[in-house]
Structure 1
Amino acid sequence: MDRTVNSSRSFAHPLHAILLAFPVALYPAALLTDITYLNTAQIQWTNFSSWLIAGADLFAGLVVAWALIGLFSGRARHSQGRGILYLIVVAVMFILGVVNAFQHARDGWHSVGTVGLVLSILCTLLAFGAAFIANGNTYSVEDRT
């Protein structure tokens, strides 16, 4: 009995995947530094968070632009529904990231607090969701007898 595994690849270009890797890494790192700040009250952790969020927002903006161009370029018509969902997720991730950056620009304890922590959690979850949607590998096994 022969089995073949068919894999449908992601709709993201490899360069797009590299750009998406930055928010996927930087938003969770900012979340960890927020948690560390809430546990230690050392102000330097909010500075780390601010820089991590700024870097994630920079690349998230590039990801949104790439997703928008990719959606309307007609490159992947077979996955347009998934492309629209992906665009919505990365756009919301970017918008919440910018709001999070403004929140972290505040002074002292108010920079993180509950709102900053919740925004960091949402940005992290949206970044992971965007990576999951962009990857989108589905495998099927066919039996050939």
Structure 2
Amino acid sequence: MTTDPLHIVCPHCHTTNRVARDALGQAPDCGKCHRPLFDGHPAALDADAFEKHVARSQIPVLVDFWAPWCGPCRSMAPQFEAAARELEPQMRLAKLNTEEAQALAARLQIRSIPTLALFVGGREVARQPGAMGAADIVRWARAHLPRA
């Protein structure tokens, strides 16, 4: 395994950290806010934080586009939370409220919610509309990762 540092954006203060690839599973903390970079919970993002996480993170970013009034979104929330516990630290899971980031949702052409989108290297590589269970989220996300 390599120790080449990866850029990992903190889910709390959104500072970009350098973390050795083989140290991802050792509960690294943010160099600025000293909180865990991975805590088994999806990061709540606004439009600015979304742009930073997608552009700067060198691990895949799986985003749940949702809204508080959406029943299927609310029912999928605990499933997405469970998927975060399984997929971190190899992947950042995040949630973006489309009601608070309407311009971003429009630019990304999010037409239904919930919608999952997987970003790798700053680019969207897969999208899946509709609510899913935790096992299906994990399976879907892993199936759409680029092969090394």
**Do both share a fold (TM > 0.5)?**
no
Give TM-score, length-normalised by structure 1.
Answer: 0.30
Query: Which protein, 1 or 2, shows the higher relative CO under an 8 Å CA cutoff with sep ≥ 6?
Result: 1
Give TM-score, length-normalised by structure 2.
Answer: 0.30
Higher strand share: 2
Larger Rg: 1
